[in-house]
Amino acid sequence: MQAHGNRMLSERIASGWLRVHCAVIFLFLVAPILAIVPLSFNSGSFFSYPMEGFSLRWYAQAFGSSDWQLAFANSIGIGVVATLIATCLGTLAALGLSRSVFPFRAIIMPLLISPMIIPIVVVAAGFYLIFAPLGLVNSYAGVILAHAALGTPFVVITVTASLLSFDQSLLRAASGLGARPWTTFRRITLPLIAPAVATGSVFAFATSFDEVIVILFIGGPDQRTVPRQMWSGIRDQINPSILAVATVLIVFATLLFTAMNWLRGRAAAASSSD
């Protein structure tokens, strides 16, 4: 009985220490991000505590500025189109790589995900060297293609992971019943991998919306996005309106990853029900 009580006590102590460590790690990771949120409501013009007062002046300045409005419109427009391209290309690539008889898979897969591994400065320089002779520098087409290339690996990885647990007997049964490949894909494969495709799309959009190095290399004044506008604001003139935009981006990123976790939950529930 005493041994059982000692074991229960040690488990409680270990659980308490685990919670303390988790809280410290959480604070270490989140505190620098949350520290800028109150400053975005500061009535003063300095990035420092204590705050002079509460005000929405920096939000009004950010959203009332034509430069910031153009940056938000560009980020959303470029992100949506790049995500659509990345989703289509990544899904098709994952479907091909998931086949058991696909040749050179061990070579092609690392090449597809290389934009995630290679330093982004090297990738941006490569984009510039390729796009410049084609006239795609300082153009929306060039930025969209570059962002699509950066987002495609995320779609490939998520969809490939979903296809690893896919029941191939369903495809064989559909083929045996006379279904055409497109019909099989539309009615069987796509509904089952849809949560993984959506998760990859969220990652692709977040990558495009957050990217700044590539846009500095191949984007022009007309292609100014939110990260580039923030970069220019910090470099040229430090303005608290940047903190207001950063707070909006924090909320936006939180919503994105909440949606991603919800999609993951749906995918897990679908796979368990199968």
Q: What is the mean pLDDT of residues 141-170?
A: 85
Residue 232 resides in a domain: yes
Judging by beta carbons within 10 Å of its beta carbon (0-12, 13-18, 19+), is residue 28 exposed, middle or buried?
A: exposed
pLDDT of residue 240: 76
pLDDT of residue 143: 92
Q: Is residue 44 part of a domain?
A: no
Does any domain span residue 151? yes
| In-domain check, residue 189 | yes
Domain that holds residue 22: 2-34
Residues 29 and 145 in one domain: no
Does residue 39 form part of some domain? no
Q: What is the CATH number of the domain that holds 216?
A: 1.10.3720.10
pLDDT at 167 over 70: no
State the CB neighbour count (10 A cutoff) for residue 98. 19
Query: Is residue 8 over pLDDT 70?
Result: no
- What pLDDT sits at residue 188? 74
Do 25 and 71 lie in a common domain? no
What is the average per-residue pLDDT within 71-95? 91
Residue 4: the pLDDT is 56
Pick from 14-28, 33-47, 96-110, 214-228 the range whose average pLDDT is largest: 214-228
Whether residues 99 and 147 share a domain: the answer is yes
Classified as helix, coil or strand, 54 is strand
What is the token pair recorded at 176?
A: 């045996």
**Which has the closest alpha carbon to 82: 154, 169, 161, 12?**
154
Q: Quick one: 27 and 70 in the same domain?
A: no
pLDDT at site 113: 83
224 and 147 inside one domain: yes
Assigned domain for 118 exists: yes
Output the average pLDDT for the chain.
Answer: 81
Quote the pLDDT of residue 182: 74
pLDDT at 2 over 60: no
**Residue 18 and residue 136 share a domain:** no
Average pLDDT over residues 52-60: 80
For the chain, the domain total comes to 2
Checking if the pLDDT of 32 tops 80, the result is no
Q: Are residues 11 and 141 in the same domain?
A: no
Residue 9 confidence (pLDDT) above 70: no
Q: Specify whether 120 is located in the same domain as 205.
A: yes
Task: Give percent of the chain with pLDDT exceeding 90.
Answer: 14
Look at residue 268 in the predicted model and tell me its pLDDT: 62
Same domain for 104 and 20: no
Specify whether 14 is located in the same domain as 89. Answer: no
Instruction: List alpha helices for the chain, DSSP H.
Output: 2-34, 36-39, 57-64, 66-97, 105-112, 114-117, 120-134, 140-164, 168-176, 181-184, 190-210, 213-218, 226-236, 241-273
Residues 73, 30 share a domain: no
pLDDT at 144: 93
Average pLDDT of the residues in 68-73: 87
Residue 41 placed within a domain: no
192 pLDDT higher than 70: yes
Query: In this structure, is residue 43 part of a structural domain?
Result: no
To the nearest whole percent, how much of the chain has pLDDT over 70?
85
Residue 41 banded pLDDT, cuts 50, 70, 90: confident
Same domain, 257 and 156: yes
What mean pLDDT is predicted for residues 252-262?
78
pLDDT of residue 184: 74
